Structure 1
Amino acid sequence: MSTTSLNISVIEKRMMNATEAAHYCGIAVKHFKTLCPVRPVLMPPKYKQYDRIDLDKWLDNLKADVDNASQNAILDRL
């Protein structure tokens, strides 16, 4: 029996346009620019790109705020 090996290299994008960034964050494109405080990076000559790392930080902060609110609500009930 013969065996076959397949090597696949996947490079994860770091910079995304507004549509890709909105999809990455799970937000409708039409709401992304008003909801997301992350500023795009101007890439020459005229491209505005969103850094995935900055988007991750923003999303992590949103989660932390929810977690803190939940913890405070539990403590208030005690």
Structure 2
Amino acid sequence: MPRTPDDSPCPAYGVRPARRVSVDPQGPVLIEGPVDIVLDDGTVARSDRFTVAICTCRRSRTYPWCDTSHRRRERTTPPPEDRNP
């Protein structure tokens, strides 16, 4: 197979470099972009970002892209005290 000067497969011969995918059980799937995502209805969502976060919980309002809806919402400050006697 022909190779480029940096010893990677030459894309001109139909060999595409592998994409790195990171799977986090508590979060999204991270994929080195750009990516095309084919949805259930056949439409294609495209992102040209360097790294793309793909939603796996389906809670995202921007599905298929992750908007961190999978995170538990916890209060960082205590609730205000009841000021009524």
Question: Is TM-score (shorter-chain normalized) higher than 0.5?
Answer: no
The structure with the largest strand share of the pair is: 2
The structure with the largest helix share of the pair is: 1
Greater RCO, CA 8 A, separation 6+: 1
Q: Normalising by structure 1, what TM-score?
A: 0.21
Q: Normalising by structure 2, what TM-score?
A: 0.21
